[in-house]
Chains A and B, each alone.
Chain A
Amino acid sequence: MLMSKEIYFDRIESYVEGTNSAEEKREFENDLEENPDLQEEYQAYLATKKAIDEFVKEEILAKLDEIAQRKPVPEVKVLGLTRRTWAMAAGVLILIGALMFLYGHQEYSDDRLFAKQYERPSWDSNRGDQPTNSTYDKAISSLQNNEVEEAADQLSKVGRDDEAYNVALYVMAHLQLQADAGEEAVETFNALKQQNDKRYQENVDWFLALAYLKVGEESMVDQQINTILQNEQHPYYQDALTLRSRLQSFWRRF
């Protein structure tokens, strides 16, 4: 009898839990109709299940008491991805982009880099051993009197056969750079370069780079920088490194 009730229990449990095959299920239902012992066990099983269902409330209330004791996790505000949020985020990104553009544009523009790296030469030192009372000498006098146009006019009159021709080209090129006449400065420095005058070679390397920067020819600037960087003893070696670093700056992309 005990064994049969154990078997009943297992069969009932499988039936109630739905783990029976279709055939086993049919067989169980047939037995249930014909077997009073099985019926009795089945009723007791269902009543027990119902009894358990009725006292789960106590367990839920116990769980709720436990939950009530827990401190809620501080709320982390997550912005809902509404159209408004997207629009705000896009606005902020645009603003950041615009500010980066402005910063990059202002601090790393060609003109700004030129201004940072260009140093006006001292005309007195250039004058040094140059012949006096020449056209060149008059031009320098005019420069010292801040008569820039007059000086430029006098420099342009220095002839090729004048021994002050190369220095006149050099000063003229600087005046052109200072007057924002970049293309003319490039031309003048190149003319001086053609003279192969060692006194001006290293200066021309550097100031030609700046003249190209002035006109926005970055590839030519790079070329000049590379020429300078081939010689660690070049007087403008550090300046060239600095300029290259600034030209490759992240901010130049804006």
Chain B
Amino acid sequence: MKRVFTEEEMIRGIQKGGSALEEVLVFIYHYSPYRQSILQFIQKRMGSREDAEDIFQEGISRMVISIQKGKFEGKSTLRTYLTTICKNLWFTQYTRSNRYANIIEQIPVEEKFEMGPDEELLLKERSEGLQKILAQVGEKCKKILSLWALHYSMREITQEVGYKSEGMTRKKKHQCFKALMNKIKEQPDLIKELLG
């Protein structure tokens, strides 16, 4: 039977990460009213179903990262926060494409979560540079480090990647981190960019 989460429980689950995060994602995706209202909002504003799904997922990922990094201050409800992220993402997308310039709306911003176009472009370029580096450390390393960054426990990571023991996972994570660090050290400019 599905579990029902309060907003506080969702925030705690996201902060905790790992399986708690996944439970919250399942709830948000399948059982909360968030998805339906956001999909409707985008579809009513010339978005296709695919556009709406992409924006919704992108919005959730940004919300999760913001919460895990402590950027969500709780000034608005989680629902308002996610909805505002998704609305801004959608307006940014169609403003860029200039297809629906006549339907831009002003959205009140209670939380700092959104980047300006320049900042986003910079991030995109940096992300592409990082992807190249990550491609060199391998998919398995990428998976382990991503899960670790999402606060999955060593036991959960072990299950996900199919290693035999947590000790092996811990050792592999250590190796992956150092391998990535060595690649990054080869690009002093990237270090400066990353550290702002």
Contacts and interface: CB of A to CB of B under 8 A. Distances in A.
B2 A75 contact: yes
Interface in B128-170: 130-131, 133-134, 142-143, 145-150
Interface residues of B, number: 42
A64 B149 contact: no
Contacts of A57: 61-62, 65
A89 interface: no
Interface in A12-51: 43-51
B2 A56 contact: no
Interface stretch (B43-51, B78-86, B92-100, B184-192): B184-192
Interface residues of A, number: 30
B107 interface: no
Contact of A55 (B58, B130, B191): B130
Contact of B150 (A44, A45, A59): A59
Interface in B1-59: 1-2, 22, 25-26, 29-31, 53, 57-58
A56 B60 CA distance: 12
Nearest to A51: B130
A76 B191 CA distance: 51
B125 to A, nearest CB: 12
Contact of A76 (B1, B57, B61, B145): B1
A56 B195 contact: no
Interface of B: 1-2, 22, 25-26, 29-31, 53, 57-58, 60-62, 64-65, 69, 123, 126-127, 130-131, 133-134, 142-143, 145-150, 177-178, 180-181, 184-185, 190-191, 194-195
